Amino acid sequence: MILLHEVIGLLDSRYPPEWAEPWDRVGLVTGRPKQPVNRVLGVVDVTAATVAEAREQRADLIVAHHPLLLSGVSSVAATTPAGSVVHDLIESGIALYVAHTNADVAVPGVSDSLADALGIVGRMPLLPTGEGRGHGRVGRLPVQMPLREFAQMAARVLLTGTLGVRVTGDPAQRITLVAVCGGSGAEFLPQARELGVDVYLTGDLKHHSVTDHLAAGGPALIDAGHWSTEQPWVAEVTTWLTKETGLEAFVSQTRTDPWSFHVYGHNRSL
């Protein structure tokens, strides 16, 4: 039998809480340290739907990337969505552990899983933070390919569904050197330019950030969405947990991307 505090010890050793940004909220959120753990569900987001999935799968622990309670709270009453989720977790006896920005900079971390999904090799941090850690990753594709082909591959392997990806750049440009960052990576656009990559793939890119980036001579960009670029980490961490502990750890099948479908207008000429 494995106790919760033993699993948390392993997770904390891989994703030390002190690596998290000062504003972040990581670590154990619900659960008693001495409660037994048999099954683990990995998720990007903690929602009523993913908690319901954990109950259906008889999971004792949810390992999540995004914090449930990121801002300071004075109440967890079930009158708010987050409070209701807290009550669901406690009433179901499900512990919750969060690894967020500490998992972003870890090696392996969120961007390593993204790079693995895209077949990027020979990697280094896009923005180093010390001792080999850092935000994002930069590496090379084993085989050079056109930007259009790389974008199509990314849309397929990153489970973007009907949303696809957004791309700026010459579709025929040959791509070799690639930078990636899981989640919201607009703040690392300067690093992608400085390193002279062929394309930078991340999520949550805004109009003005992209416009300024291109005006500064930056490389091609692919916005593959926030959820889609972080979801590969869930598979990696659950596989690791099973190997390290023998626990049944599995990936959530609930899509928590808030965007659900893409609609094209009639005027496609612009």
Distance of CA 114 to the CA centre of its chain: 8
Q: Give 6-11 contacts, CB < 8 A, sequence gap 24+.
A: 6/245, 7/37, 7/40, 7/61, 7/97, 7/241, 7/245, 7/247, 8/33, 8/97, 10/241, 10/244, 10/245, 11/63, 11/97, 11/99, 11/241
Check the annotation: does 226 bind a ligand: yes
CA 204 to CA 191: how far, in whole Å?
Answer: 17
Check the annotation: does 266 bind a ligand: no
Contacts of 151 (CB under 8 A, 6+ apart): 165, 167, 171, 222
C-alpha gyration radius of the chain: 19
HSE of 245, CA atoms in CB hemisphere, 13 A: 25
Amino acid identity for residue 256 in this structure:
T
115 in Cβ contact with 137 (< 8 Å): yes
Check the annotation: does 100 bind a ligand: no
Bind-site residues: 65-66, 104, 226, 230
Bind-site residues for a divalent metal cation: 65-66, 104, 226, 230
